């Protein structure tokens, strides 16, 4: 190979920036949608338990063809609506809980009021004791004295804890009725223990629900990031994400996040590669080279290499994009259909060096930065021969197209 030039490439275009901004904006919007849906779900649960129905208004949906700026603005509106709706729901829940709490505490207070007050520090007898003649000796065990003020305090603390938790209202009401009717401390302790069990279950359920809501938001954002990407691997990622959402996963697997990021990176690299191919093809046209119909396919595909001929010359250029990395190489080549001298080869390489510098500048105009770190001087090695069939034949149509391109670009 002769006088090869090579290095890394990077792409920075307005379209590329917008595509990546749009992808992130869609992910943030999906996250906001998930938070909104979680609030709506809590409002529905509140209505089912308390009968309190809130009127909510969701901001308009984003048009399918919206840009990143539109998505970002819509996300802000949806987040604001979610915050205000959540606050209204919390207030309604607090009011419903206060009413229920007052009613429940009133029942316990009524039970306390039914007990006679002890005189001069004496402990009031229970109903069991009060109903028996004091003078009659008995072998019955002494009746248990219940400190109803303490019972009331214990129950009130548990009702306060339940106020912020979704819980089986009927079961709690039943337990409170049993507490009020209890005639022994051990029975009361058992019933309050049941209240504690309900509180622990409700807290665990609230924590899991919060974890599911958080995971659902993160999964929705991941799905939005890969929604517009193509390929079997991405299809599998989307299926996995949907399965986790359906299964109400409480956490996002770390390997899924890594796989999504890797899929996005591959898609971005492929998009960059296709843009580089288009920019190089465009530049070669403007420089008077004729590329065959398979040029773009060969350069962008697994081969990673393609050829173009300089009009009717026996010399051409070979371009290569390394598979799996953002690197390129370019070199002068010659047809194997004719014999050339060393002087002709050297002159062709010198001409190629001039052409390559122009190629770099033209590619930059299309948002492609070719960072050249290999510059082998002309004559360092022999010019590579390639099959004449690999070099596109110059046709009148091809010449007219190249001339038209150069004229258009010069205006």
Q: What is the pLDDT of residues 154-175, one digit of tens each?
A: 988 988 888 778 888 889 888 9
In terms of Cα–Cα distance, which of 216, 164, 204 is closest to 35? Answer: 216
Domain membership of residue 212 (yes or no) is: yes
Same domain, 217 and 288: no
**304-336: per-residue pLDDT in tens?**
899 998 877 889 999 999 988 999 999 999 988
**pLDDT of res. 400:** 52
Domain membership of residue 7 (yes or no) is: no
Show which of 183, 217, 252 is a domain's final residue. 252
Same domain, 246 and 289: no
Strand partners, 319: 306, 330
Show which of 194, 217, 252 is a domain's final residue. 252
Q: Give the confidence band of 81 by pLDDT, cuts at 50, 70, 90.
A: very high
Supply the range of the domain harboring residue 201: 17-252
pTM reported for the whole predicted model: 0.73
**DSSP-assigned letters across all residues of 282-346:** HHHHHTTEEE-TTHHHHHHSSS-EEEEEETT-SEEEEEEE-TTSSEEEEEEEEETTS---HHHHH
Same domain, 141 and 178: yes
Same domain, 292 and 389: yes
Same domain, 102 and 225: yes
Same domain, 210 and 342: no
Domain membership of residue 6 (yes or no) is: no
pLDDT beyond 70 at 142: no
Same domain, 307 and 224: no
**171-196: per-residue pLDDT in tens?**
988 898 898 888 899 999 999 999 99
Same domain, 103 and 134: yes
Domain membership of residue 45 (yes or no) is: yes
pLDDT beyond 80 at 46: no
CA–centroid distance for 312 within its chain: 53
Same domain, 277 and 234: no
Show which of 205, 223, 252 is a domain's final residue. 252
User: Per-residue pLDDT averaged across 271-298, rounded?
Assistant: 91
**103-138: per-residue pLDDT in tens?**
766 766 666 566 544 444 444 444 333 444 444 444
Same domain, 242 and 303: no
Same domain, 46 and 90: yes
Domain membership of residue 265 (yes or no) is: no
Domain membership of residue 237 (yes or no) is: yes
Same domain, 226 and 345: no
Largest CA distance in the chain: 139
Domain membership of residue 50 (yes or no) is: yes
Alpha helix (H) residue ranges in 51-132: 68-113, 127-130
Domain membership of residue 336 (yes or no) is: yes
For the chain, the domain total comes to 2
């Amino acid at each position: 190979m002769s006088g090869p030039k090579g290095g890394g490439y990077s792409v920075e275009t307005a379209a590329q920036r917008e595509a990546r901004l749009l992808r992130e904006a869609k992910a943030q919007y999906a996250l906001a949608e998930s938070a909104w849906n979680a609030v709506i779900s809590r409002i529905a649960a509140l209505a089912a338990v308390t009968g309190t129905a809130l009127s909510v208004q969701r901001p308009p949906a984003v048009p399918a063809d919206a840009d990143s700026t539109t998505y970002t603005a819509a996300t802000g509106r949806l987040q604001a609506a979610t915050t205000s709706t959540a606050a209204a729901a919390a207030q309604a829940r607090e009011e419903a809980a206060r009413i229920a709490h007052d009613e429940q505490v009133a029942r316990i207070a009524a039970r306390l009021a039914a007990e006679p007050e002890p005189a001069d520090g004496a402990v009031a007898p229970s109903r069991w004791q009060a109903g028996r003649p004091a003078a009659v000796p008995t072998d019955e065990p002494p009746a248990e004295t219940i400190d109803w003020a303490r019972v009331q305090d214990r129950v009130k603390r548990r009702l306060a804890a339940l106020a912020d938790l979704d819980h089986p209202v009927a079961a709690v009401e039943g337990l409170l009725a049993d507490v009020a009717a209890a005639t022994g401390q051990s029975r009361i302790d058992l019933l309050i223990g049941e209240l504690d069990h309900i509180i622990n279950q409700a807290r665990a359920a609230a924590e899991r629900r919060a974890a599911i809501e958080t995971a659902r938001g993160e999964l929705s954002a991941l799905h939005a990031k890969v929604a517009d990407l193509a390929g079997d691997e991405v299809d599998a990622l989307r299926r996995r994400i949907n399965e986790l959402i359906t299964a109400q996963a409480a956490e996002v697997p770390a390997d899924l996040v890594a796989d999504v990021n890797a899929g996005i990176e591959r898609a971005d690299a492929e998009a960059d590669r296709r843009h580089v191919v288009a920019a190089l093809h465009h530049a070669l046209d403007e420089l008077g080279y004729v590329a065959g119909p398979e040029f773009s396919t060969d350069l962008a595909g697994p081969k990673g290499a393609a050829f173009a001929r300089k009009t009717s010359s026996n010399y051409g250029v070979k371009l290569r994009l390394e598979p799996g990395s953002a690197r390129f190489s370019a070199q002068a080549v010659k047809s194997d259909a004719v014999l050339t001298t060393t002087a002709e080869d050297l002159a062709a390489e010198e001409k190629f060096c001039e052409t390559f510098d122009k190629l770099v500048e033209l590619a930059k105009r299309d948002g492609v930065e070719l960072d050249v770190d290999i510059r082998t001087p002309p004559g360092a090695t022999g010019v590579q021969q390639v099959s004449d069939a690999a070099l596109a034949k110059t046709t009148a149509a091809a010449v007219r197209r190249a001339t038209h391109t150069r004229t258009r670009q010069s205006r």
